[in-house]
C-alpha cells in the first residue's frame, strides 16, 4: 500500500508519487524504485476512498484527493530542499492541480486525462444516479496480459468518482498556463482510458519553460507496469535527477 522509500544517496530531495483512480500505490512503485536509485526519496500515498471499497470511493470528492496530495507535499517540502511530484492518470491530474497552486521543483505525469470524451462528461452527472457502478470487464488498461492479471485495484468504477474527475479536470484546464515547473508528459500509445492526444494538449497548455513529451509505443494506460514500464521509469528518474 503506501510506501516511503529513502533515496540511495545524499540528494536533499523527495518525490511524491500519486496513483490513479481505483488504483493503488502498487502501480507507481516501479517509478519510485528508479527514482530512489538517483538518490531521491520517493513517497507514495493512498488516495482517499482507495484501498477499501468502490462504495467508499464513491463517497470521496475531488477536494478530498486534492487535500491529501497537498498535505503530503507540504510535509515533504518541510523536510527537503527540492520536492518533485509524479502522477499517473488521476494522479497526473492531481499533480497538475498542485503545480498550479504550489511550486514543485519538477513534475512528471503519465497517462493523464485532460478531458473525458463526449458524451461521457455531459452524461455522467445524471448517469451516476441511474448506474452508480460500472464493471471493469476486461480489467485494467494494460497490454501485458501477465501484468494485467496481477494488477490490484477495484473491479468496479463508481460513476460518482468519474464526475469528480470531470470537475477536477475543468479546474486544471483553466489553470495549466500558470504552471512553471519543469515538466515531463508521458503517455502510452495504446491508451484506451485517456486520449493520447491529451499529452500534447497538456504540453501546449503548460507555462513551463522546460517541458517535454514522450510516447511509449507498446503500452496502454498504466505504463509503469506495462511493456514500456522500465523505459518510463528510467526516463522519469533521469528527468528528476536533471532537476536537482
Distance CA 210, CA 228 (A): 24
Q: Which residues are catalytic?
A: 89, 191, 221
| Nearest in space to 1 (alpha carbons), one of 56, 43, 63, 64 | 43
Question: Is 4 strand, coil or helix?
Answer: strand
Tell me which H or E stretch contains 97. Answer: helix 90-101
- Cβ atoms of residues 166 and 193 within 8 Å: no
Contacts for 115-121: CB closer than 8 Å, 24+ residues apart:
115/169, 115/173, 115/195, 115/198, 115/201, 116/162, 116/165, 116/166, 116/169, 117/195, 120/162, 121/166
DSSP letters of 105-172?
SEEEEES--SSPPTTHHHHHHHHHHH--EEE-TT-SS-SSHHHHHH--S-SEEEHHHHHHHHHHHHHH
Whole-number Cα distances in Å, 184 to 38, 166, 211: 17, 23, 6
Amino acid at each position: 500500500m503506501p510506501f516511503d522509500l529513502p533515496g540511495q544517496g545524499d540528494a536533499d530531495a523527495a518525490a511524491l508519487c500519486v496513483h490513479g483512480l481505483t488504483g493503488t500505490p502498487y502501480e507507481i512503485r516501479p517509478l519510485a524504485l528508479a527514482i530512489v536509485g538517483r538518490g531521491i526519496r520517493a513517497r507514495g500515498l493512498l488516495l482517499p476512498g482507495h484501498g477499501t471499497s468502490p462504495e467508499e470511493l464513491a463517497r470521496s470528492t475531488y477536494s478530498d484527493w486534492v487535500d491529501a496530495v497537498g498535505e503530503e507535499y507540504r510535509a515533504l517540502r518541510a523536510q527537503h530542499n527540492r520536492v518533485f511530484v509524479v502522477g499517473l492518470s488521476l494522479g497526473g491530474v492531481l499533480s497538475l492541480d498542485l503545480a498550479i497552486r504550489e511550486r514543485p521543483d519538477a513534475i512528471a505525469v503519465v497517462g493523464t486525462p485532460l478531458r473525458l470524451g463526449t458524451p461521457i462528461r455531459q452524461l455522467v452527472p445524471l448517469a451516476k444516479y441511474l448506474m452508480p457502478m460500472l464493471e471493469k470487464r476486461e480489467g485494467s488498461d494494460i497490454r501485458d496480459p501477465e501484468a494485467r492479471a496481477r494488477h490490484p485495484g477495484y473491479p468496479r468504477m463508481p460513476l460518482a468518482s468519474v464526475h469528480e474527475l470531470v470537475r477536477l479536470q475543468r479546474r486544471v484546464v483553466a489553470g495549466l498556463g500558470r504552471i512553471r515547473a519543469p515538466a515531463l508528459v508521458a503517455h502510452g500509445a495504446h491508451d484506451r482510458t485517456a486520449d493520447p492526444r491529451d499529452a500534447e494538449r497538456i504540453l501546449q497548455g503548460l507555462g513551463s519553460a522546460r517541458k517535454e513529451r514522450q510516447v511509449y509505443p507498446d503500452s496502454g494506460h498504466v505504463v509503469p507496469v506495462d511493456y514500456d514500464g522500465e523505459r518510463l521509469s528510467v526516463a522519469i528518474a533521469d528527468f528528476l535527477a536533471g532537476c536537482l
